[in-house]
Homo-oligomer: A and B are copies of this chain.
Amino acid sequence: MKAAVFHAKEDLRIEDVPEPSPAEGMVKLRNAFAGVCGSDLHVYYSPEASGLDFTKPHPVTGSMPPQILGHEFSGTVVELGEGVTNVAVGDRVAVWPVYYCGECAACEKGAFNACTKIGFHGLTSDGGGMAEFTTVPAEKVHVLPENVDLTLGALVEPMAVAWHAVERSRVQPGQTALIAGAGPIGIGVWFALRAHGVETIIVSEPSEARRTAIAGVGADILVDPTSEELASRVAAATGGRGVDVAFDAAGAGAAVTSAIANLTPLGRVVVVALHERGFEFNPTMLVMAETEIAGTLGYSQADFDAVIAAMADGAYDTTGWVQTVGLDAVVDSIAELRAGRGMKVLVSAD
């Protein structure tokens, strides 16, 4: 079968590989779509700085490159391994791609998303979504309802990252929010906030293309922080109170400090982006209004279920920010995304 296989830094090949067969407890999928993620760009351009160690077998999965990519993916069940009863052939599914050790302090708490040895199907495992077929453990498969198509199915993973961030914010219906950064995760935070009953959402994004994209799905308070004063826009939208919650989906120090500065007392900033570098920070900012900063990482299977339910409720819209390309175009797409062009690219698996 055809697959996008990562061999080494800047060496990703579309090649023929053996078609997998489902072992006991496994499910074989005909893959539909797989998203290209920021992690894929990191792995492609600087695997040594990606946070993943490709030089030895993964401590949980035992895998190492060559590695089929695609950890944000959807597909249709075509074959069941022995003992699988939770899904049926023909089911359309999204895959929770997490492998975890089950023994670390995070796993002890059930926070598999923070497992110190975490692995991902499509990054550090045997197979991935950028191939015609893959096999996954049956318990990682989430069936899509009839009205959630396979395009949305491939977006469950990144939307679950954003959903988890919103859960971490502990926002309540009717509260107010600020999102810094309107890339795919920022857009996902916007959808998740709406699904949580939040109406007043200020979006701060320097890129005009990204402001246009999030406006296209319904965002109505858009700020260019390079030319407008964010504080006055936040004050106007919140009656001078500041926002209850804010999200750093930009990965910039200025996004974090301006988010804190625009919080209401006892408000909370959630950092969902990784920061390539540090910045000058004085925590007295957090003391004076009893505010806080929380990191958020990945998602749980419950987040997958919640996103799929919200998708079934019509809470998500792919207009204007999602494009689909063929498997052969994956390397070109990675280069385009790195150059700052495009938002979310889904790779068709056939």
Enumerate chain A interface residues (CB-CB to B < 8 A). Answer: 104-106, 108-109, 111, 113-114, 168, 240-242, 248, 256, 264-266, 271-275, 277-297
Contact = CB atoms under 8 A, between A and B. Distances in A.
Given A106-B265, A109-B265, A265-B111, A283 B290 contact: no
22 contacts: A105-B241, A106-B289, A111-B290, A114-B266, A114-B288, A168-B290, A274-B287, A275-B284, A277-B282, A278-B281, A278-B282, A279-B280, A283-B295, A286-B293, A286-B295, A287-B295, A287-B297, A289-B295, A290-B294, A291-B294, A291-B295, A293-B293
Contacts of A290: 106, 111, 113-114, 168, 294-297
A292 B292 contact: yes
Contacts of A273: 287
B242 A105 contact: yes
Given A109-B265, A265-B105, A293 B283 contact: yes
Contact of A296 (B275, B287, B297): B287
A294 B292 contact: yes
Q: How many copies does the complex hold?
A: 2
Which residue, A108, A168, A240, A265, has most C-beta atoms of chain B within 10 A?
A265
Contact of A271 (B113, B242, B287): B287
Nearest to A238: B105
Given A290-B295, A290-B297, A281 B284 contact: no
Contact of A248 (B113, B280, B283): B283
A113 B265 CA distance: 10
Contacts of A292: 292-295
Contacts of A108: 241
A160 to B, nearest CB: 14
A338 B265 CA distance: 31
Nearest to A255: B283
Given A114-B289, A295-B289, A256 B283 contact: yes
A314 B274 CA distance: 47
A282 B289 contact: no
Given A278-B282, A283-B248, A284-B275, A266 B109 contact: yes
